[in-house]
Amino acid sequence: MEVTESKAEEVVYKQDNGETTAWLTNFEEKMELGHEGTQKYKNIFYAAVLISFVYLGMLFWLL
């Protein structure tokens, strides 16, 4: 099997007897990973940010 025709947008693979094996066009495949956030992790994130601000506030206030 060899590539006999190769253009910018398509590639045609043919067998030795000339029969087309595969004909690939240039296409772009996109996948999206969608997810729903849970309230538990949102609350943990807010608590971590709050603790970090309090820590930094105390650190700069004491120094």
pLDDT in tens, 17-31: 878 777 777 666 666
CB atoms within 10 A of CB 41: 9
Distance of CA 34 to the CA centre of its chain: 11
Across the range 6-13, mean pLDDT stands at: 67
Domain residue limits, the chain: 2-26+38-62
pLDDT at 2: 53
Structure-token pair, residue 27: 């296409």
Higher pLDDT, 17 or 8: 17
Q: For the chain, give the percent of residues with pLDDT over 90.
A: 29
SS3 of residue 12 by DSSP? strand
| Cα–Cα distance for residue pair 58/63, rounded to 1 Å | 9
Structure-token pair, residue 43: 């609350």
For residue 39, pLDDT over 80 is answered with yes
Write down the pTM of the prediction: 0.43
